[in-house]
Every structure is written in C-alpha cells, then in structure tokens.
C-alpha cells in the first residue's frame, strides 16, 4: 500500500500553478495533466463513479458499507498551486530534524531557520519535507490530495471500518479564487464537506475572510522630460502616492487572528499607465464594506484633485465569510472536533486567513469547513510539512468517515 508520503512526493513533481490571467477553466493545462494521474490512481484503489469533467474537476465515490441512512460526507482539495512563486522542477527534501537551522540550498545560502520560523521548534525529532530553496513545495494543496486518497485507500482495504457514502473532489484554480465556481454541487450529492486545505496540525476552521479585489488603473500622460512642465502626468508617481494613503499597520505582515487588511499583490507600469492590484480582507462584514468604501472614496478624491480624472477602479467581491452558512449547522464542526480528539490530535479552532473553496461552496449550499494538512509557510521557498502531521491528517479523515456512520445529527 502506498503511503501518504509516497503519494505526496510524487504529486509535488507536477507543476500545476494556476494563472490569474487565464481565460479558461482550468487556467493552465498542467492541471488537466495532473488530474489524469489522479483519476488513474482513484481507479487503482477502487473508487467508483469517477469523473473528470470538461473544466478539470474530479469527482469520485466510496460506496457506503452500512445499511442504515447516514449523511453523505465529502472531502475536497485543490489541484493547483499558487501562481505567486515558482513551482517548476520542485525537488522535495526529507530532513531528519534535530533542531537549529536547515540549509535548504548551500549554493544560494538559503536557510530555513527557527529564528525566522519558530514553528520549527515544535518538530524537533520529526521528519520534515522541505523545498530545495528554489521553488515552493506544493503542500498547498497536494498534501490534502495525498491525505484524502490515502484515507480512501485505507477505508477500502479495511471494510471492517463502517462508514456511509463518502464523496471526494479535486478542484482547479482555487488559488485564483475560482475553485468553487464550476463545482457541480447538486450532482455531487454530498450533505456536507470538508476541504483538506489548512495548515498546522489540528486546525479546524469554519470562519473565513470576506474578500474583494481592487484593480486600479492609472492613466498618465508621457511627455519628454525636457519639456514636461505642466504637461506630464506620471502614472507611476500617482500610483505610489495613492498607496501612501493606505494605513501602514493594516497589511498582512502587521495583522493576525481576526484583523483584516489591505494587500498590494502587484504593481506595474510606467509614466503613461500603471496598474495596482489590491486584495481586501476582513472577517466582519461591516468592516469589510468600510474597507471597500475607503478605496472608492480615495479614488474619487484623486480624480477630483487631478483634472484628467486619471484613476479607473474595478472592485470585485470574491467570497464571503463561510461562518454565515455554517453557524446553524455546527454539528459538522462537532463531528470533525470529535474525530480530531479520537485521533489523538488537539483541535485548534482558528479562522482561515486566506482563501478556501469552502467559502464559495458553503454559499452555494454545500457547508464546508476546513481541515489541516500539516503544512507551514505556504506559497514560498520556506514551505515545509512534517511527516507525522500528514499521517495524522489521514487518521482524522478516516475517523470522520467512521464517526459519520454513527454521529447524532440535527439535519
């Protein structure tokens, strides 16, 4: 039987970065290639009703082995990795961690240090999987995929473990906010689901940001600098002035827990035109609306001060706090909490400080909290994941399936 580590080390070698500028679903063909690999593996372990649809979504079923009626539970992870950092030629490293610094890449002097990432201190004596310092690792969310498939394989090989019908799905383009958009919820047929897309061991999340993206296009006027007086409008300078009005302590690097933020994700341009992309995040709906109003008012102010009205704003809501759809169905969270405890994992109830398919799916009628994968430092070269955390994630998925056949629901 393949282990969760065997699967994960294979999966991360596939480059499946999504593309925020892509016009198709999936946004990159590499996700379809990886999807074909997963379809074959789902067939090999004995899953049924396996489908890879025209948009790259993968669905599969583990049939119930009990005769009584129980809810259909689903587990979901995403195929793509972040477009924010290279994922080409990922070379994972297995580290027997005994504390101190980890030299990821001696040639480039790239070091994973507990001085920078104190979470490492929790894993002394454990085996870690790291990057080689030149790419991200891809635990977000190939760890989730490996954990789900390994759990399904275990359940199939151990029919003495009683469970209801279990559904599995893998989605494209989660990292660019489209993972839930073309999900066939009614056909999928689950009563509720869990995304396996979280971080540190024990995480159980049922609150997420309200999220929006602001695209700010600044139109300038390029004139030869020698004769530019009273003629040139420098879009690049307007862009820097515009960003200087944002509160400095309301950025990702200055916030935590339930604090919201503005995050400049990209800036490019020149004198003639500049483009800013800013994501807006807050757990509280009223504060979320206030943040959007702040940007709108700032644009109006700049367009009033500049006679050419140089700024064009597109403000798009991306997803909302899934707690609004789960708060009256907390039995879903209770089931996962019990599974964590019975698997020897302390529940860590924290909000999702990032995107998750669970938000979109919950608002489309499939309530979907989020479970841990075990990973740390996603979307960059310092990403790592402890092997025991991945193994515990498999245990928790199996236990949820088992408890689901006997859990006392209020449906």
Quick check: 71 and 411 in contact, CB under 8 A? yes
> What is the share, in percent, of the chain residues with pLDDT greater than 90?
94
Instruction: Let me know whether 312 and 326 are in one domain.
Output: no
Instruction: Let me know whether 267 and 366 are in one domain.
Output: no
Instruction: Let me know whether 277 and 165 are in one domain.
Output: no
SS3 of 371, please?
strand
Q: Which helix (H) or strand (E) holds 227?
A: none
| Domain closes at, from 319, 353, 386 | 319
Instruction: Let me know whether 62 and 125 are in one domain.
Output: yes
Tell me: pLDDT of 410 over 60. Answer: no
Compute CA distances 108 → 89, 114, 349, whole Å.
17, 19, 38
Query: For residue range 2-42, what is the model confidence (pLDDT) as tens digits?
Result: 999 999 999 999 999 999 989 999 999 999 999 999 999 99
Instruction: Let me know whether 194 and 133 are in one domain.
Output: yes
For the residues 274-292, what does the mean pLDDT come to? 97
Instruction: Let me know whether 63 and 76 are in one domain.
Output: yes
Q: Say what the pTM is.
A: 0.90
The C-alpha angle 136, 130, 386, rounded to 5 degrees, equals 120
* Beta pairing partners, 263: 279
Whether residue 67 is contained in a domain is answered as yes
End-to-end CA distance of the chain: 36
Rounded to an integer, what distance in angstroms lies between the CA atom of residue 184 and that of residue 53? 10
Looking at residue 219, its pLDDT comes to 97
| Domain closes at, from 319, 354, 369 | 319
Instruction: Let me know whether 11 and 93 are in one domain.
Output: yes
Instruction: Let me know whether 292 and 392 are in one domain.
Output: no
Instruction: Let me know whether 164 and 220 are in one domain.
Output: no
Instruction: Let me know whether 223 and 135 are in one domain.
Output: no
Instruction: Let me know whether 247 and 345 are in one domain.
Output: no
Tell me: pLDDT of 408 over 70. Answer: no
Domain that holds residue 292: 214-319
Q: State the chain's mean pLDDT as an integer.
A: 96
Whether residue 411 is contained in a domain is answered as no
Whether residue 293 is contained in a domain is answered as yes
Query: For residue range 157-203, what is the model confidence (pLDDT) as tens digits?
Result: 999 999 999 999 999 999 998 999 999 999 999 999 999 999 999 99
Tell me: pLDDT of 355 over 90. Answer: no
- Structural domain total, the chain: 2
Which residues are known to be catalytic? 80, 174
| Domain closes at, from 283, 302, 319 | 319
Rounded to an integer, what distance in angstroms lies between the CA atom of residue 391 and that of residue 338? 18
Could you tell me the CATH number of the domain that includes residue 347?
3.40.630.10
């Amino acid at each position: 039987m393949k282990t969760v580590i065997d699967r994960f080390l294979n999966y991360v070698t596939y480059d499946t970065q999504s593309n925020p500028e892509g016009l198709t679903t999936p946004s990159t063909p590499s996700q379809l290639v990886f999807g074909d690999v997963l379809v074959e593996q789902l067939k090999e372990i004995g899953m049924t009703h396996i489908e890879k649809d025209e948009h790259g979504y993968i669905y599969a079923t583990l049939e119930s082995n009990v005769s009584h009626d129980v809810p259909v539970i689903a587990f979901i992870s995403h195929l793509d990795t972040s477009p924010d950092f290279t994922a080409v030629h990922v070379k994972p490293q297995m580290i027997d961690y005994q504390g101190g610094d980890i030299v990821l890449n001696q040639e480039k002097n790239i070091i994973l240090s507990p001085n920078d990432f104190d979470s490492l201190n929790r894993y002394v004596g454990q085996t870690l999987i790291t990057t080689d310092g030149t790419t991200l690792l891809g635990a977000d969310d190939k760890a989730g995929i490996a954990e789900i498939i390994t759990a399904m394989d275990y359940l199939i090989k151990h029919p003495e473990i009683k469970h209801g019908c279990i559904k599995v799905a893998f989605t494209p383009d989660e990292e660019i906010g489209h993972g839930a958009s073309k999900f066939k919820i009614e056909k999928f047929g689950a009563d509720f689901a869990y995304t396996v897309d979280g971080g540190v061991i024990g995480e159980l999340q049922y609150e997420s940001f309200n999220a929006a993206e602001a695209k700010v296009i600044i139109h300038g006027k390029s004139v030869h600098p020698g004769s530019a007086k009273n003629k040139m409008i420098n879009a690049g300078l307007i862009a820097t002035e515009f960003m200087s009005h944002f509160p400095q302590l309301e950025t990702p690097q200055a916030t935590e827990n339930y604090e919201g933020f503005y995050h400049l994700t990209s800036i490019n341009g020149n004198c003639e035109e500049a483009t800013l992309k800013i994501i807006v995040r807050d757990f509280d709906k009223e504060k979320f609306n206030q943040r959007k109003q702040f940007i709108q008012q700032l644009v109006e102010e700049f367009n009033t001060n500049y006679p050419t009205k140089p700024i064009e704003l597109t403000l798009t809501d991306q997803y909302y706090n899934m707690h609004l759809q789960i708060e009256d169905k907390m039995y879903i969270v209770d089931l996962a909490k019990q599974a964590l405890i019975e698997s020897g994992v302390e529940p860590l109830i924290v909000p999702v400080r990032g995107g998750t398919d669970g938000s979109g799916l919950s608002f489309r009628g499939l309530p979907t909290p989020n479970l841990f994968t075990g990973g740390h430092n996603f979307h960059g070269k310092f990403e790592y994941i402890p092997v025991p955390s991945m193994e515990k994630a498999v245990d928790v998925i199996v236990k949820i399936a088992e408890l689901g056949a006997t859990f006392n629901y209020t449906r």
